[in-house]
Structure 1
Amino acid sequence: MNETEAPAAVTDAEFAARVLQSPVPVLVDIWAAWCQPCVTLKPVMHRLAESYRDRATVLTLDADSNLETVTRFDIRALPSVLLFDQGVLVGRQVGAQPQATYAAMLDARLSARAAGVAPTAIAAAAPAPAPVAPESPASREARELAAATEPTLIFKHSATCSISIGVKREYDAFVRAHPNVPARLLVVQNERPLSNALAEVLRVQHESPQAFVVRQGQVLWHASHHRITASRIADAFSAATHAV
């Protein structure tokens, strides 16, 4: 066979006889006409078929026309190249890989056969990665607040709590006296997702009222209820500033 000769095709109906019952290892290239990487892999399969003639067989299988095999071996992406020996699936590569990758699979199996090592089945397919949920705006803001490069004040306020209403006067007094200090007032009833996200990001259990001084991912000071006063916030900022 030369590079202009394609490896033979196999179908669902022929798969058992030509692949699973083959006396030599069989490399199966599972492809589709619409798959551009599959097209780029064709000459690689041609060369492998020629290089391993009489030691292994290289076959192709059209995924669109042979859904039984695709389903049986849990093909989730194309191209997928499977290696079988003695009816056992012993290797799998997903995506178009260099010729050396497939040659290494074949060489390893041929060496094992020569040493009398029985084939060991691999899993039908690697588990699909769990989908990653997009980051919510609240989580993003919580991370950004925590990562501030200069000390930042965060105050969680409950608009329905008499204690919080009283403590907020302390927060307001500090902000009036220090207008240049970065500060974020969070009304819990209106911004519950952000409140929850901050508890997770800062790793401090939620309370309200609650105040934090944060910088670069660290909680430099925090307090709740009547422990929050304008003077204590000022002391916390003084300590944070001198620690920079």
Structure 2
Amino acid sequence: MAARSLSKLPTVPQSSCRRTPHTSSPPVTRNFRPNTLRSPWLGPKCLSLQSSSLRPPVPKVRLVTATVSFSLPNAKPERVSSTEKAPQWSRRAIKSFAMAELEARKLKYPTTGTEALIMGILIEGTSLAAKFLRANGVTLLKVREETIKLLGKADMFFFSPEHPPLTEEAQRALDWAVDKKIKSGDGGEVTTTDLLLGVWSEVESPGHKILSGLGFSDEKAKELESLSSEPGFVDD
């Protein structure tokens, strides 16, 4: 009885049971041109996908040399005659001054003093003055330690300005270096040696006291000046 009922069921053709292979249609490519990116709420202007607009913004590079050079003193009008040219600072001297300002900020001092000028010379490290100091046992760590002993630690919550102003002793040291170069008449640049000797000329300054305590003397100053005066010497 069951077999007879099953025989009466409609049969499905075998061909209709087969699955037809799926054929994927080719991907639709859209060309996003600037003209197709118009929008009524963006105004009449359209966005541009040109390569120039996709470039990341180039950060503005601040030239330390240009910034620091404005802080360094050049010859005052009364110092130079009309026929003379005001001396400029050498590249190493400018970098040493920049490092001095940075060191004053790291120590959280409100000003850049003669002690910071010495540390700036040592941090720059490639000049004759820096090599001469290290050869005579005057290192950055020693100068930093003596500075803290002499001037003390600053308030940890104090924020030093970006360009800590010069102390009176440091300003006179820089002026001394410029005057020395003018008097020499060689027409060269003011070097780190002139800067260091300018610090040494300020007898009552912290920089002079620190140098003296670390073994620097008038004899050493004359030796350094003699080395910098040798023919062919260039300390740019």
TM-score exceeds 0.5? no
Q: Which has the higher strand share?
A: 1
> Which structure's CA Rg is the greater one?
2
TM-score class, shorter: under 0.3
Q: Which has the higher helix share?
A: 2
TM-score, normalization by structure 1: 0.23
